[in-house]
C-alpha cells in the first residue's frame, strides 16, 4: 500500500476534509521537504499530523516541540550542559536530546518564539547541522512539520528572521474547510458521534448542525473542535438531568462554548415560548374535555327541563371561563371554537328546557 493511501486511511478514520492534508504530508515525507500547516484554530492540524506520522514512523522517531515567548536556544538544542559551562566556561548543548536526533519533528506555533531562536533555527536548517562555537552536530531530521494559526503573510511581518525561516518550508497548506454549512457539520457529527459515550443524541445532530452553520454565517466560524465539544456538552447536560436522551433544553448549555453565547440566549427565548405553548395547550385540552362532559350531561338531561337549565347555566359559566383562558397566538382560533360551541349548546339547552316545559 503506497504512502498516500496509508496516510489517507489513517486520517479518514477520524477526520473529514482530510484529503488535501494527506496529500501534502505524503509529499513531504516522500520528498524530504519541510511543510508549514497553518489556518484557524480548532481544525485538528496537530491531531491529523500525529495520526499521519503514526503510519510512517515509530513514536521514538518523532520529536514534538512547543514554541513560545519563553523558548530559548538551550531548549531548542536539547538543554544546556551546565557541567561544561562550569568546568570549561563554554556553552554546550545536548543535541542528541533535541529534534536533531529524530527522523521527524513537529514544531507547534514555531513563529511565537523570539527572533534569536528563529535565526538560530534557520542557520541549522540551512547548514543541516548544529554549529554553535566549537560544537557541531549533524541533523538527522528528514522532515519538519511546523503548525501555526498564523497566516504566512503575518509571519513575514514578524521580521526578517521569521521571513527567512518560512523559506525553509517549501510546502505550505492552509488547514480549513471550504465551507461551513449544516451539511459540513452534519458530516463531522456522523464521523465522531459514534465514538462518544453518554446520553443518546436523540436526533439533535441535525439541529446542532443547523445551529453551527447559523452561528458561522457572520464569518466568525464555529471550529470543528468546538462543534465536537458541543456534542459532549449536550450529552453531559442530559445526564445531569438524569436522562438517557438529549432534549432541546440541553442545548442551553451551549452558551459556555465560544461563539455560541447569542444562540443560547435565543434558544432560551424559544424554549420559554415552547413551554408557554405547551402549558396553554394543556389548559385548552382540559377545557375541551370539560366541554365534552357538559355536552354528555346535556344529552342525558334532554327530558328534564330543570336539569337542562342547570346544564345551560354551567355552559354559560364555562363560556366565560374559556373566554378568559390564556392561550398563545396559535391557539386563539381553537379557543374561539370551544367558546362558541359552549354558547351554542347553552342556547340549545335553554330551548330544549322551554320546549319540554310547554309540553
Tell me, what's the pLDDT at 354?
85
Q: Which of 129, 152, 174 is the last residue of a domain?
A: 174
pLDDT at 104 over 90: yes
HEC per residue, 26-51: HHHHHHCCCEEEECCCCCCHHHHHHH
Read off the C-alpha cell for 295. 355536552
- pLDDT (0 to 100) of residue 28: 96
pLDDT score recorded for residue 56: 92
Clarify whether residues 18 and 164 are in a common domain: yes
Of 208, 235, 259, which one is at a domain's C-terminal end? 259
Whole-angstrom CA distances from 183 to 19, 58, 255, 276, 310 are 18, 36, 22, 32, 62
Find the helix or strand (DSSP H, E) in which 132 lies.
Answer: strand 129-132
Distance CA 336, CA 39 (A): 59
In a shared domain, residues 242 and 276: no
Which position has the grid cell 527567512? 164
Do 24 and 62 have their domain in common?
Answer: yes
Q: What is the domain range of residue 287?
A: 271-358
Whole-number pLDDT of residue 89: 83
* Burial class of residue 290, CB neighbours in 10 A (0-12, 13-18, 19+): middle
Distance CA 343, CA 313 (A): 10
Question: Alpha helices, DSSP H only, in 32-151?
Answer: 45-53, 73-76, 82-88, 115-127
| Residue count of the chain | 359
Residues 43 and 146 in one domain: yes
| Residue-level pLDDT at 88 | 83
> From CA 27, how far away is CA 219, in angstroms rounded?
32
Highest mean pLDDT among 16-20, 158-162, 200-204: 16-20
Highest mean pLDDT out of 184-198, 246-260, 275-289: 184-198
Does 265 fall in a domain? no
**Quick one: pLDDT at residue 27?**
96
Q: Based on the structure, what is the number of domains in the chain?
A: 3
Q: Radius of gyration (Cα) for the chain, nearest Å?
A: 36
Cell of 303: 327530558
Angstrom distance (rounded) from CA 212 to CA 65: 33
- 264 falls within a domain: no
- When the pLDDT of each residue in the chain is averaged and rounded to a whole number, the result is 89
pLDDT at 5: 94
pLDDT of residue 330: 81
What sign for the dihedral angle of Cα 240, 244, 248, 253? positive
Q: What is the pLDDT of residue 275?
A: 65
What pLDDT does residue 263 have? 66
- Does the structure show a pLDDT above 80 at 181? yes
In a domain, 191, yes or no: yes
Is the pLDDT assigned to residue 36 strictly greater than 90?
Answer: yes
Band (pLDDT 50/70/90 cuts) for residue 260 is confident
Percent of the chain whose pLDDT exceeds 70: 96
Alpha-carbon distances, residue 215 vs 184, 208, 219, 274 (angstroms)? 13, 10, 9, 22
**Mean pLDDT across the stretch 90-115?**
93
DSSP state of 221: P
Statement to judge: residues 74 and 100 lie in one domain: yes
Q: How far is CA 250 from the centre of its chain?
A: 14
**What pLDDT is stored for residue 172 in this prediction?**
95
Q: Describe the crossing of helices 182-192 and 224-240 by its angle, rounded to 10 degrees.
A: 60
DSSP string, 185-199: HHHHHHHHGGG--SS
- Considering the domain architecture, whether residues 165 and 188 belong to the same structural domain is answered as no
Instruction: Please indicate, yes or no, whether residues 230 and 129 belong to a single structural domain of this protein.
Output: no
Regarding whether 87 and 117 lie in a shared domain, the answer is yes
Predicted pLDDT at 270:
59
Per-residue pLDDT band at 292 (split at 50, 70, 90): very high
The CATH number of the domain holding residue 162 is 3.40.50.300
Tell whether 163 and 190 lie within a shared domain: no
Which CATH number covers residue 249?
Answer: 1.10.8
pLDDT exceeds cutoff 90 at 15: yes
Characterize the bridge pairing of strands 62-66 and 35-38: unpaired
Higher-confidence residue of 162 and 285: namely 285
pLDDT one-digit tens code per residue, 42-96: 999 999 999 999 999 998 999 999 998 889 999 999 999 888 888 888 889 999 9
Copy the grid coordinates of residue 229: 465539544
How large is the angle between the packed helices 261-300 and 305-323, nearest 10 degrees? 170
pLDDT score of 264: 65
Residue 266 falls inside a structural domain: no
Q: List pLDDT tens digits, range 155-179.
A: 877 788 888 889 999 999 999 999 9
Spatial distance between the Cα atoms of 96 and 83, rounded to a whole number of angstroms: 16
| One domain, residues 138 and 195 | no
Average pLDDT over residues 23-40: 96
Pairing label, strands 104-108, 135-138: unpaired
Q: Is the pTM of this model over 0.75?
A: no
| pLDDT class of 276 with cuts at 50, 70, 90 | confident
pLDDT band at 274 (very low <50, low <70, confident <90, very high): low
Same-domain status, 193 and 281:
no
Helix then strand then coil, in percent of the chain rounded to 5, is: 60, 10, 30
Q: Does the pLDDT of residue 7 top 80, yes or no?
A: yes
Amino acid at each position: 500500500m503506497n504512502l498516500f493511501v496509508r496516510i489517507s486511511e489513517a486520517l479518514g478514520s477520524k477526520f473529514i476534509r482530510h484529503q488535501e492534508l494527506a496529500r501534502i504530508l505524503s509529499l513531504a515525507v516522500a520528498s524530504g521537504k519541510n511543510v508549514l500547516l497553518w489556518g484557524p484554530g480548532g481544525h485538528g492540524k496537530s491531531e491529523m499530523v500525529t495520526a499521519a506520522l503514526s503510519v510512517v514512523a515509530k513514536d521514538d522517531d518523532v520529536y514534538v516541540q512547543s514554541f513560545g515567548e519563553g523558548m530559548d536556544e538551550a531548549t531548542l538544542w536539547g538543554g544546556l550542559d551546565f557541567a561544561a559551562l562550569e568546568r570549561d566556561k563554554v556553552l554546550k548543548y545536548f543535541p542528541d536530546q533535541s529534534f536533531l536526533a529524530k527522523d521527524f519533528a513537529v514544531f507547534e506555533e514555531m513563529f511565537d518564539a523570539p527572533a534569536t531562536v528563529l535565526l538560530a533555527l534557520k542557520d541549522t536548517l540551512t547548514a543541516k547541522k548544529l554549529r554553535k562555537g566549537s560544537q557541531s552536530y549533524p541533523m538527522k531530521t528528514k522532515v519538519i512539520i511546523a503548525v501555526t494559526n498564523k497566516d504566512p503573510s503575518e509571519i513575514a511581518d514578524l521580521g526578517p528572521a521569521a521571513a527567512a525561516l518560512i523559506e525553509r518550508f517549501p510546502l505550505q497548506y492552509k488547514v480549513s474547510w471550504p465551507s461551513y454549512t449544516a451539511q459540513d457539520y452534519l458530516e463531522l457529527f456522523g464521523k465522531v458521534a459514534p465514538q462518544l459515550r453518554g446520553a443518546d443524541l436523540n436526533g439533535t445532530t441535525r439541529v446542532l448542525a443547523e445551529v453551527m452553520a447559523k452561528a458561522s454565517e457572520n464569518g466568525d466560524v464555529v471550529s470543528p473542535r468546538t462543534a465536537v465539544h458541543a456534542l459532549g456538552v449536550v450529552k453531559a447536560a442530559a445526564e445531569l438531568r438524569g436522562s438517557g436522551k438529549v432534549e432541546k433544553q440541553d442545548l442551553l448549555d451551549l452558551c459556555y462554548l465560544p461563539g455560541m453565547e447569542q444562540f443560547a440566549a435565543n434558544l432560551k427565548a424559544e424554549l420559554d415560548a415552547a413551554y408557554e405553548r405547551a402549558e396553554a395547550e394543556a389548559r385548552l385540552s382540559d377545557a375541551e374535555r370539560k366541554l365534552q362532559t357538559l355536552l354528555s350531561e346535556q344529552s342525558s338531561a334532554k327530558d328534564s327541563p330543570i336539569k337542562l337549565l342547570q346544564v345551560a347555566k354551567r355552559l354559560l359559566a364555562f363560556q366565560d371561563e374559556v373566554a378568559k383562558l390564556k392561550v398563545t397566538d396559535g391557539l386563539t382560533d381553537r379557543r374561539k371554537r370551544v367558546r362558541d360551541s359552549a354558547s351554542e349548546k347553552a342556547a340549545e339547552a335553554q330551548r330544549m328546557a322551554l320546549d319540554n316545559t310547554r309540553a
